[in-house]
Amino acid sequence: MQLEIINLSKSFGTKEVLKNIDFTFESGKIYGLIGRNGVGKTTFFNSLNEDIDIDSGYFYLEDEYGRNRLDIKDIGYVISTPVVPEFLTAKEFLEFFLEINKDKIINKDINYYFNLVKISKEDQNKLLRDFSHGMKNKMQILINIISNPKIILLDEPLTSLDIVVQEDMKKLFKDLKKDHIIIFSTHILELAMDLCDEIVILNHKKLEQIEKRNLNTKKYKDKIIATLKDEKNA
């Protein structure tokens, strides 16, 4: 399965953020999308998810059924600031979500899903408004896992989680990658190196894939960091 991006451009007024991007992502891999804060990683995700109007560009998904224009239902998007119905408990929210999607979801075992992301019985009965930022993020990740989209966009999903939970989520993402295209946005190079199979830099409004093994050398890593500094100052 492949996600093909053709000639993607996006500007905000006179500020050009993405320019004539051509890139192909493949299933079975986690892509680490790295770049400085404010360089346009979230804009790239919002463009794919149709949350903003783009200036130009086409998105195609090629799978066993052929090559077709990307459908929004094929995308799951975990945003950096989670939005959940805070008037519901975690259990009520998950029960509601499973009910409204019952025709599309085969496994409706609520305990299975809570165990998947290690949310305790006690926390299941808490109002979501009382959840920490990290716990809300876990619920958001869980909803996207249940929806089983072909493409999963992860916008800084681990920065609010403690080290133990981060490791649990990393394992979960690695288990998911076989049947999905996963793009993981972060500004932390070491995190991308640890989790991701491929490294893609958003630099000077373009996507550039780099050899991950090159980042194991200090000279090349310093070169990448210098390039990102140059991008921020441009």
What pLDDT was estimated at residue 110?
Answer: 92
Residue 197 belongs to what domain range? 2-84+131-233
Q: How confident is the model over 183-192, as pLDDT tens digits?
A: 999 888 788 8
Tell me, yes or no, whether 117 lies in a domain: no
What is residue 163's predicted lDDT score, i.e. its pLDDT?
Answer: 82
What residues contact 213, with CB distance under 8 A and at least 6 apart? none
pLDDT beneath 70: ranges in the chain:
160, 212-234
Task: Report the C-alpha gap between 62 and 8 in whole angstroms.
Answer: 18
CATH number of the structural domain spanning residue 57: 3.40.50.300
- Render pLDDT for 27-67 as a digit per residue (tens, 0 to 9): 999 999 988 777 899 999 999 999 999 999 999 999 888 89
pLDDT at 219: 62
Distance CA 183, CA 215 (A): 19
Instruction: Count up the domains in the chain and report the number.
Output: 1
- Report the alpha-carbon distance of residue 83 to residue 104 in Å, rounded: 23
Report the pLDDT value the prediction gives residue 176, as an integer from 0 to 100. 86
Angle between helix 90-100 and 133-147 (nearest 10): 20
Between CA 97 and CA 111 the distance in angstroms is 14
168 lies in some domain: yes
